[in-house]
Structure 1
């Protein structure tokens, strides 16, 4: 049986802050707030934070705490549709701007995770 896609995981030094950043950037919410666990269970603070698209259209993201900082270029990254200026105002940084070779912008989130931003359709 072939493998199937499940979730997307992003590493973070401050996983709660990065989860909040991606929630605002993507219009996502924390899964535990959107779909509260049964029985009043509360996710421990040091566990990964799941964020979801409240419309149910996008994939589940896990923002995973790690002790090390990002040190090299991502080998895999996200491609998103978004507003470049809004993302920059939120704290993203430009890694490479669109030019004659590429028709998108390459940005980094506040922890350095790279992603490509395409003009919304």
Structure 2
């Protein structure tokens, strides 16, 4: 039986997008390296964010995002209005208000849905 391990984001700047998602999700953080190689997340073409399941990988790609995501994350929170303000302060933007959730986009334009309790 297969199990979900990672979600991988193609992006223009892995470090900044990894920092956004590490701050956005409760219990997640940028994963430390094992110390065997020099690490500067600003120059790294792949950055891992861990702390829950699934882990989130951010990998450098040369092209920009052009179209709507075919897959998106659903993020649940206790207070929809407060959380949308917090995520907006981190660099997200509101795309659309839909019934009892908000469609948002991360700093590189990847859509996700913010849902209340």
TM-score between both structures, scaled by the size of structure 2: 0.82
Q: Does 1:58 align with 2:53?
A: yes
Which of these residues, 60, 63, 77, is aligned with residue 68 of structure 1?
A: 63
* Aligned counterpart, 2:112: 115
* Aligned counterpart, 1:104: 101
- Superposed displacement of residue 95, structure 1: 1.4
- Superposed displacement of residue 88, structure 1: 1.4
Q: Which sections of structure 2, spanning at least 5 residues, go unmatched? A: 78-82
Q: Give the Cα separation in 2 of the matches to 1:23 and 1:6.
A: 17
* Aligned counterpart, 2:80: none
Q: Give the Cα separation in 2 of the matches to 1:89 and 1:47.
A: 25
2:87 match: secondary structure = helix
TM-score between both structures, scaled by the size of structure 1: 0.80
* Aligned counterpart, 2:14: 15
Q: Which sections of structure 1, spanning at least 5 residues, go unmatched? A: none
Structure 1 runs, 4 residues or longer, greater than 4 Å off: none
Aligned-residue RMSD, C-alpha: 1.8
* Aligned counterpart, 1:42: 38
Instruction: Give 1 or 2 for the bigger CA radius of gyration.
Output: 1
Q: Give the Cα separation in 2 of the matches to 1:5 and 1:23.
A: 19
Query: How many residues end up aligned between the 2 structures?
Result: 109
